Amino acid sequence: MTETLTYRLPWQSSSVYPGAHPGQMIGAGQLFKRHEPLIASPDPRRIDLRASVLDPFSGYRVRVYQQQSSVNVYLLADMSASMAYADKQQTLIRFLLTAAKSAFGYGDKFGFIGCTERIEHRWLLPACQSLGRVSALAKQLEGLTFTGSAKGLQNAVAYLPAERSLVFLLSDCHFPLPQLRALLGSLQAHDVIPLVLWNQDEYAALPNWGLIAFQDMENHATRTLFMRPALRQKIIAVYRQRQHDLKHLFRAFGSEPLFITERYSTQTINRYLQQRVA
């Protein structure tokens, strides 16, 4: 059974369609927004007698309420070769299904943008409310071998709507920081939630002694190293510094990243999402 993401928006949606999030529109809602003249909002059921008596122009004043609105939710996914390591690909697919079903449950639309060297049409899903299309996409991803780099991420903004959307960025961020900085700069019109997939076997599970062959999954270059305690600690320190640099960069663009280093857990992501709006 697919679990549910409990996401909330720390901003008001501009969508005219009713939904579950705070909106900029006025309509059916519970939260009082302001008074308006009866001629501007012709609903006599909402006439406020006290405000009408106090109106210096002797007009009728009507109470209007904030409408709960929907939002477009997108999953922007890194599908480069490094995302094929360990269980990263399965985590991507599982999160795809979870995020889509959760969005549909809120009355939101869900879209997907998968990026490798470039953006291919088959890995694009415009915002919709079709669980069947999402399930078909997930099935295609299960049989795919991730290859190449994630350079296509730079062009992802062209496939997002103009209005502010909620964008989950799912990646291991194993690409240069200037590339990430350019990506985040292009996405500033949207609310970006970075989910960074790191598998601890990449660095924490290395032995203290022995010969280890490392391979770059994107260019297939290999290098054999003689592991020793000092080298192991150096590799771990490099990863820690990389994590620090990524956090600093994401925060510079107003986003707090969640590093997923253990088995995928919807509860962990939900705790993180709750902290965003606390």
Q: Residue 103 belongs to what domain range?
A: 72-276
Last residue of a domain, one of 53, 69, 85: 69
Question: How far apart, in whole angstroms, are the C-alpha atoms of residue 16 and residue 236?
Answer: 49
* Same domain (yes/no): 239, 203: yes
Question: How far apart, in whole angstroms, are the C-alpha atoms of residue 44 and residue 41?
Answer: 9
Question: Token pair of 230, please?
Answer: 């000092």
* Same domain (yes/no): 131, 259: yes
* Same domain (yes/no): 37, 147: no
* Same domain (yes/no): 92, 62: no
Question: How far apart, in whole angstroms, are the C-alpha atoms of residue 112 and residue 13?
Answer: 20
Grade residue 74 by pLDDT with cuts at 50, 70 and 90: very high
When pLDDT is averaged across residues 208-231 and rounded to a whole number, the result is 81
* b/e 206-225 (16+ beta carbons within 10 angstroms → b): beeeeeeeeeebbeeeeeee
As a whole number, the mean pLDDT across the chain is 91
Q: Kindly report, residue by residue over 40-63, the tens digit of the pLDDT.
A: 888 898 899 999 999 998 899 989
pTM of the model as a whole: 0.88
In the beta sheet, which residues pair with residue 74? Answer: 111, 167
Asked whether 73 and 89 are in contact (CB, 8 A), the reply is no
Q: Kindly report, residue by residue over 4-41, the tens digit of the pLDDT.
A: 999 999 988 988 888 888 888 877 777 788 888 998 88
Grade residue 71 by pLDDT with cuts at 50, 70 and 90: very high
Last residue of a domain, one of 69, 85, 107: 69
Q: What is the predicted pLDDT for the residue at 25?
A: 81
CATH of the domain at 198: 3.40.50.410
Percent of the chain with pLDDT over 70: 97
Q: What are phi and psi of 110, to 5 degrees?
A: -130, 135
Question: How far apart, in whole angstroms, are the C-alpha atoms of residue 156 and residue 265?
Answer: 27
* Same domain (yes/no): 123, 206: yes
Token pair 């998968």 is found at 114
**Domain annotation covers residue 13:** no
* Same domain (yes/no): 29, 143: no
Q: Which positions ≥6 away from 44 have C-beta within 8 Å?
A: 38, 60, 62
In the beta sheet, which residues pair with residue 213? Answer: 224
Q: What is the predicted pLDDT for the residue at 213?
A: 80
Last residue of a domain, one of 52, 69, 86: 69
Percent of the chain with pLDDT over 90: 67
* Same domain (yes/no): 65, 77: no
Q: Using CB atoms within 10 A of its CB, is residue 48 exposed (0-12), middle (13-18) or buried (19+)?
A: middle
**Domain annotation covers residue 2:** no
